[in-house]
Amino acid sequence: MHTAAPPFSGLTPDFLLNALEAIGLRTDGRLLALNSYENRVYQVGMEDGPPRIAKFYRPARWSDAAILEEHAFVRSLAEAEIPVVPALEIDGATLHHVQGFRFAVFARHGGRAPELGDPDTLEWMGRFIGRIHAIGATASFHERPALDIASFGEEPRDYLLSHGFLPPDIEPAYRSVVAQALDGVRRCFDRAGAVANIRLHGDCRIVIGCQHTIVFNGVLH
């Protein structure tokens, strides 16, 4: 992990443009920040083509190997003709490093929110998510974490409680609510019985556009 990486405050407009120039992309100075909770994502104008999407990964959040494993999974989905947006390979790489920051570049794809009340739309979404799951089951992740009770429930709870993040007056209520939630999750796991783990993308957004595009990377391109 990149524990000594610089904070996101260093992502100034000049730095963003220079980072893309450093990997051979000629920008025209236009920048548009896009919605992203975990990382920082921008639409960047290009001199010689359509805008690109640049995704800067949060420092110390994932290892390089975990990010590359995710890139490879999305690429395998695209090769199976599932309409996803994989990271572009530039000079043989999909993950780039500039002054401690890590980022990837994607083609821009437009879309709109799906009509969730339309049965045809729901059928389409279910069919394509099923295809994603089928491909995800053909191999295993080695670097990405498993979605389980310990790593996504018990460990975060213990970390918050042991590091004093909660005001003392609300800590009892927090303990009670988390205990109820985790008990419910455990019952769900017990009802499911033995389950098989498959690869899933951590950031999946579904957009219906003229080409029916499932867009990954946590933003609606």
pLDDT digits (tens, 9 = 90+) for 107-141: 998 777 778 889 998 898 888 888 988 999 988 88
Does residue 209 surpass a pLDDT of 80?
A: no
Does residue 3 surpass a pLDDT of 80?
A: no
The beta-carbon contacts of 111-118 under 8 Å, at least 24 apart in sequence, are: 111/207, 111/208, 111/209, 111/213, 111/215, 111/220, 111/221, 112/207, 112/208, 112/209, 113/207, 113/208, 114/206, 114/207, 114/208, 115/208
CATH number at residue 44: 3.30.200.20
Among 110, 136, 159, residue at a domain's last position: 110
Q: Are residues 92 and 179 in the same domain?
A: no
Among 55, 83, 110, residue at a domain's last position: 110
Q: Are residues 158 and 97 in the same domain?
A: no
CB 6, CB 103: distance < 8 Å: no
CB 5, CB 101: distance < 8 Å: yes
Mean pLDDT over all residues of the chain? 86
Which run of H or E residues covers position 33? Answer: strand 27-34
Angle 171-192/155-162 helices, nearest 10 degrees?
170
Q: Say how many C-beta atoms besides its own lie within 10 A of residue 53's C-beta.
A: 23
Query: What is the model's pLDDT at position 208?
Result: 41
Residue 91 covered by a domain = yes
Count of residues making up the chain = 221
Residue 140 covered by a domain = no
Does residue 205 surpass a pLDDT of 90?
A: no
Query: What is the model's pLDDT at position 195?
Result: 82
Residue 20 covered by a domain = yes
Residue 95 covered by a domain = yes
Does residue 210 surpass a pLDDT of 80?
A: no
The sheet with strand 96-98 has its strands ordered as: 27-34, 40-46, 49-56, 101-107, 96-98
Give 138 or 221, the one with higher predicted confidence: 138
Angle 119-136/64-79 helices, nearest 10 degrees?
120
Q: Are residues 83 and 159 in the same domain?
A: no
Q: Are residues 76 and 24 in the same domain?
A: yes
Overall domain count for the chain: 2
Query: What is the model's pLDDT at position 2?
Result: 42
b/e string for 3-12 if b means 16 or more Cβ within 10 A? eebeeeeebe
Structural domain boundaries, residue 36? 8-110
Q: Are residues 98 and 169 in the same domain?
A: no
Q: For a pLDDT cut of 90, what percent of the chain falls above it?
A: 58
Query: What is the model's pLDDT at position 213?
Result: 40
Does residue 174 surpass a pLDDT of 90?
A: yes
